[in-house]
Amino acid sequence: MSTHPFPQRPVPPTTPAAGAGDTVPVEVIMTRLVAGDTAAVFTLAEHHGHRIAGVIRRQLRRCGIDTIGPDDLRSLVLDACMELRQVAAGWKPGGALPWWWAEGRIRSLVNGWVGVHADPLDDRWGESDDEAPVAAPTMDESVAATFARLVEEVPLVGLVAEAASVARLDDVSLFCLLDYRIQQGQGDPSPATTLAARYGVTPETLRQRICRNRRRLREVVANDPRFAAIADFELVA
């Protein structure tokens, strides 16, 4: 049995007639969106989310992403519905369905998600996404020495370092995660922009690697009882 959060149904090329199978016809929902009915966003996701998910999955495959978790897919579908709300006034009944009519906006949304959450091809710190060479990342010697001392003296810091090792994160990757979290805690609205030059990558690449490495660390902590004491740390939670 499929575990897909939105059951798959055939996608017709044009707008279906009212009452042709959906509890709330798409024309009715789009009219509500134009009128400013915010709740219609959720109605759209509930009754037509399976179709919007199909558009999202197609773009993910174009980006080389074959699988996506159900929570992430639901979030993307809801975001796509928000995008459709923004352009609802321009849609005309009788033509392409809204999610095909506004496919370009949905594709841009998916591309943005991929840029933040997925980096399946490039594990190299030394190159940016466009393959232009940049400076190799380094840690200031005094900072590295301080971190090494904390690993030795503070058991919880030692656990974090051990979990990072199991997750195959080197010292620079781990310190970058810590640095990023510190910047967030200090209210930096764009830690990736602040830290990108320090670590020798573009802000986009830094965001990708932060998400990927945090995911690796989270998986190790969640599946190994040795690291239960740090499971609630904001770094991995």
- Between 171 and 40, name the one with better pLDDT: 40
Return the amino acid letter for 39: A
Structure tokens belonging to residue 179:
């640095």
Q: What is the pTM of this model?
A: 0.46
Residue 175: pLDDT above 90? Answer: no
Query: Would you call 127 helix, strand, or coil by DSSP?
Result: strand
The CA distance from 103 to 121, in Å, is 26
pLDDT reported for residue 143: 60
pLDDT of 182-232, one tens digit each?
887 787 777 888 888 887 788 878 877 887 888 888 888 888 888 888 888
Angle between helices 26-34 and 39-62 (to 10 degrees): 110
Q: Which CATH number is associated with domain 26-117?
A: 1.10.1740.10
Q: Does residue 174 register a pLDDT over 70?
A: yes
36 token code pair = 């400013």
b or e along 50-72 (b: 16 or more beta carbons within 10 Å of the residue's beta carbon)?
A: bbbbbbbbebbeeeebeebeeeb
Q: Is 70 helix (H, G, I), strand (E, B) or coil?
A: helix
Q: What is the pLDDT of residues 84-97, one digit of tens each?
A: 999 999 999 888 99
Q: Rounded to the nearest 5°, which phi and psi values hold at 127?
A: -135, 145
- Torsion (CA) 122, 128, 134, 136 in degrees, nearest 10: -40
Tokens of 167: 């997750």
| Torsion sign over Cα 177, 183, 186, 189 | negative
The full set of domain ranges for the chain reads 26-117, 141-230
Cβ atoms 230, 221 nearer than 8 A: yes
Return the structure tokens found at 191.
Answer: 């830690």
Mean pLDDT of 117-143: 44
